[in-house]
Amino acid sequence: MKSLSTLYATLATKNFPLRRLSIDVDYIAEVPSYSHRLNAALQQLFCLHTLEILSLEAGSGWDLDDALVGDIARAWPNITALYTSSSPHPHPPHAVRRLTLAALRPLAFHCPNLRRLALDMDARFPPSTDPTAEAQSPQTTLAVLSVGYSPIRRSTLVADFIFNIFPALMNVYGQTIEEDEDVTKLSLTCHKRWSRW
């Protein structure tokens, strides 16, 4: 972990126009402080304002939360693609994530060029409409959304929330397993909305 932090610190001091960044961590220890240190190391890169494509891959997933995704959105307003991916092992696909649907608002507000997004999140409860929340105006460039291994309840409400923020969305998909119908229901709900246009 220390070498990763050192690498990020070095990248942050070089002041060159980095456009793509891919971070692939094969294993994340089951130690709570490890995820915190990984996120802190990522924050060192927030000064790279030219970043357009960010890919974060980790075996058991990144421990992102709404605040960190908000920081990512504000730090990298030129981002066109943000990918996070994780494997269902060692955690079950429906492990509760700290990241919620509310994290979509700052991405829509601060990242007008975002076209592709992949996030595992807790999508069981869509946020209520908050008149003071970011992204009151729809973001019209996002075309593809992957919800990964996201627990989803009430797919119609989730689809409504997503489409209010990203009305140009063309494809919603996720990582599914045989006994997982949440993402399938969300995709079908979204498909019905597209077919009405």
In angstroms, the CA 68 to CA 70 distance is 5
99-156 pLDDT tens trace: 899 999 999 999 999 999 998 888 888 887 665 555 568 999 999 998 877 778 888 8
Average pLDDT, the chain: 77
Residue 97 has pLDDT above 50, yes or no: yes
Flag the least confident range among 10-14, 18-22, 103-107: 10-14
- Residue 179: per-residue pLDDT: 45
For residues 71 and 47, the answer to whether their CB atoms sit within 8 Å is: no
Residue 90 has pLDDT above 50, yes or no: no
- Residue 156: per-residue pLDDT: 82
Coarse DSSP helix, strand, coil percentages of the chain, rounded to the nearest 5 percent: 35, 15, 45
Please state the rounded mean pLDDT for residues 52-66: 78
Domain 18-195 sits in CATH 3.10.450: no
Q: Beta-carbon neighbour count of residue 96 at 10 Å?
A: 10
166-193 pLDDT tens trace: 998 888 877 655 445 666 677 677 666 6
In angstroms, the CA 17 to CA 27 distance is 29
Which amino acid is it at 22?
S
For residues 152 and 123, the answer to whether their CB atoms sit within 8 Å is: yes
